[in-house]
Amino acid sequence: MFAKLTGKLDSVGADTCVIDVNGVGYLVACSTRTLAALPPPGSVLSMHIETQVRQEAINLFGFLDTAERAWFRMLVTVQGVGAKVALSILGTLPVADLALAVAGGDKAMLSRAPGVGPRLAVRLATELRDKVAALPVPAGTTAAAPRGDVSGDVLSALANLGYRRAEAAAAIDRAQSRIGEGQKFEALIREALKELAP
């Protein structure tokens, strides 16, 4: 199946684009965030592709980086999340913010995406919580801190130590569950580091 397309951007629609590869136009569905980041029509580009084969059609979904594609693959494993809702989530939340929302159980942030109600937000946070640390976050991205000023300071400190933000956020959340919220910076970072220890 298709994994990557490199060609000329032919046109951009509301939720799709057409990539011309040697005279063949491929219709690729994308998130609004991906569509907004595309170069002008006529430009050459490469897109990472996720292919879904259905009885009635072969659908192509395009991403500018592998992190977004990995998240798309994970999102569609959740019951009630089809390709359209997954693209809606990725169009609403940058991957780094999505990772923190899942790790921190931030149902309000997850519910910002069209098509995600309160029940689905709970399901997303519950089913993906243990998997979020293994998913990639694009280099150089920044994300809002999880709940509370102290946890935000701890997240920033762990990121400065070289930990991935999603991995650090999940560790902070586990530490807070174990020792309780409202801890001082020193106590929380010590416990989060224990969670991150191999």
* Per-residue confidence in pLDDT tens, the chain, 198 aa: 789 999 999 999 999 999 999 999 999 999 999 999 999 999 999 999 999 998 899 999 999 999 899 999 999 999 999 999 999 999 999 888 888 788 778 888 899 999 999 999 999 989 998 787 666 655 444 444 444 567 777 887 777 777 777 888 888 888 888 887 777 877 888 888 888 876
Is 140 part of a structural domain of the chain? no
Give which of 76, 69, 59, 77 is closest to 16, Cα–Cα. Answer: 59
Contact between 155 and 131 under an 8 Å Cβ cutoff? The reply is no
Q: 48-79 pLDDT, tens per residue?
A: 999 999 889 999 999 999 989 999 999 999 99
Among the candidates 134, 157, 186, a domain finishes at 134
Q: Which residue has the tokens 């109600």?
A: 117
Same domain membership, residue 157 and residue 178: yes
Contacts of 47 (CB under 8 A, 6+ apart): 4, 5, 6, 19, 28, 30, 62, 63, 64
Same domain membership, residue 30 and residue 89: no
Q: Could you list the residue range(s) of the whole structural domain that residue 155 is in?
A: 149-196
Among the candidates 63, 91, 108, a domain finishes at 63
Q: How many domains does the chain have?
A: 3
Is 94 part of a structural domain of the chain? yes
Would you state the pLDDT for residue 152?
A: 78
Same domain membership, residue 28 and residue 71: no
Is 86 part of a structural domain of the chain? yes
Same domain membership, residue 91 and residue 124: yes
Among the candidates 63, 92, 109, a domain finishes at 63
